[in-house]
Amino acid sequence: MNTRQKNIFVIFLFGILALPQLMQGHPNDDALNQLSKTEATWIYLRLGFEHIIPMGLDHILFVLCIFFLSPKLKPVLWQSLAFTLAHSITLGLAMCGVLEAPSYIIEPLIALSIMFLAIENIISDKLRSSRIIIVFLFGLVHGMGFASALGDLGLPQNKFFLSLIMFNVGVELGQLAVILLAWFLVGKWFAQKPWYRKRIATPVSIAIAGIALFWTIQRVFFP
């Protein structure tokens, strides 16, 4: 990625975050249904992005766990795609009323999924083919978490699928922003160093596992 492409990428991300606050609180169905296609597209794109950056610390840590085991862009992006596909499935089914799971079950499971990947990063010395399956399965759980947040916001019934798709696109853009930032700061410079795993991947994964353990206890016993 050359300097011009980097600048365009940064401007694009800030542009999403700087979109006018067209949606405040929890609007009713009538207000949502009055949105134009353009308004719905940009609002739900922004909401999806913001659900990762800056609001989704747990999802950010999950994506970072994907990254730190093997910080090469191609395998990380494949895992991110599997994660997106999985959470899109459960998010869509939940918003259509097919699936329903209470947050007091889903939120601890999300924290446990982060802890699982972090521990795998600590004990595994290479990326295994089973990893993408694990990420996909955990993505199904995270999709239910996204559904809880999106359910509170609501979707315009006359632009239901458009808004749902754009929310997912926004989430994916947020994930890609996290991945690319981690790659520019860490992967590009240190991934090939012989001490990368000992000095970077393992300590960071231990820290993430500790945070995820704390969240698990907090969400189970102090919801």
Query: And the tokens for 195?
Result: 């001490």
- Give, for all 223 residues of the chain, the pLDDT tens digit: 555 444 434 333 444 333 333 333 344 567 777 888 888 899 999 999 999 998 999 999 999 999 999 988 999 999 999 999 999 999 999 988 898 888 899 999 999 999 999 999 999 988 998 999 999 999 999 999 988 888 877 888 888 899 999 999 999 999 999 999 999 999 999 999 999 999 999 999 999 999 999 999 999 998 7
Q: Residue 24's pLDDT is what?
A: 36
Query: Which strand (E) or helix (H) includes residue 68?
Result: helix 57-69
- Residue 49, domain extent: 3-221
CA distances 126 to 20, 68, 113, 131, 195, Å, are: 44, 11, 19, 10, 14
Amino acid at 212: A
> pTM of the prediction?
0.83
Query: And the tokens for 150?
Result: 């999106």
Q: Residue 9's pLDDT is what?
A: 41
Give 192's DSSP letter.
T
| 156 prior amide bond cis, ω within 30 | no
Residue with tokens 């102090």, as numbered in its chain: 222
Q: Residue 100's pLDDT is what?
A: 86
Of 60, 41, 203, 39, the residue nearest 122 (C-alpha): 203
Q: Please give the tally of structural domains in the chain.
A: 1
Residues whose CB is less than 8 angstroms from the CB of residue 33 and which lie 6 or more positions away in sequence, other chains included: 156, 157, 158, 159
Distance, CA of 223 to CA of 216 (rounded, Å): 10
Q: Residue 37's pLDDT is what?
A: 87
**String of DSSP letters for 154-191:** ---GGGHHHHHHHHHHHHHHHHHHHHHHHIIIIIHHHT
